[in-house]
Amino acid sequence: MDYRVISTGSQGNAVVINGAVLIDCGVSFRAVEPFLKGIKLVLLTHIHGDHFKPSTLRRMAAERPLLRFAACSWLMKPLLDLGVRVGQIDLLEPDRMYDYGMVKVIPVSLVHDVPNCGYKLHFPAGEKMLYATDTANLNGIFAPNYDLYMIESNYSDEEIQQRIQEKKANGQYVYEYRVLGTHLSRAKCDDFFYRNVGPGSELVYMHEHHERGGEADEGRAS
């Protein structure tokens, strides 16, 4: 299974899987354009601008009229409002499987400050992957023996508690309280991975604070 991380983190999110599936689109059209010819399906998670960039989605829909955009109910109106034709949009429901031939897609509900989902992808050759970011936890999600896990690892517990104490001491607004309720820690990410890991499984940490801004990471999960 090939993957390409175009961008991850607060500056924008977009990942291409096997050259054909784009998950999230919170980056410029220029960033997506090198991959656009091969992309057949765009999977969207939630409305935040680092995952959902209207200008890029609008141009992709215009230049690729046969491109499919798939999302849960909370993104239907935003897609229509930015000009994506209703005939290009697939409405998905969490925990149901949708067969696109080249891939089977299962949305999974995530816990954030807006409605959000992640995705399980099952490919015809037998590869399986899970994508889950912007979530406080992964409770109720099972993905045993998957080949690839792309999971948020936003902070360490020690780091965030230190920042909270420093800001409280300085009388500053403690943004980190919100982070605790909306983003996944490294410990929770690792715990989920070790409970599901199988032979040959690969974990890719997403949303790390020290991500390489603007550079695309690539790899292969076998």
Digit-coded pLDDT (tens) for 68-124: 999 999 999 999 999 999 999 999 999 999 999 999 999 999 999 999 999 999 999
Burial 128-137 (b: 16+ CB within 10 A, else e): bbbbbbbbbe
What are the extents of the domains in the chain?
A: 2-220
Q: Of the given ranges (27-41, 99-113, 120-134, 166-180), which has the lowest mean pLDDT?
A: 166-180
CA–CA gap between residue 112 and residue 134 (Å, rounded): 6
DSSP secondary structure, 29-68, as one string: HHHHHHHHTT--EEE---SSTTTB-HHHHHHHHHH-TT-E
Contact 25, 32 (CB under 8 A): yes
Looking at this protein, which amino acid is placed at residue 188?
A: K
Q: Which of 79, 126, 129 is CA-nearest to residue 108?
A: 129
pLDDT at 213: 36
CATH placement of domain 2-220 = 3.60.15.10
Q: Of the given ranges (116-130, 156-170, 180-194), which has the lowest mean pLDDT?
A: 156-170
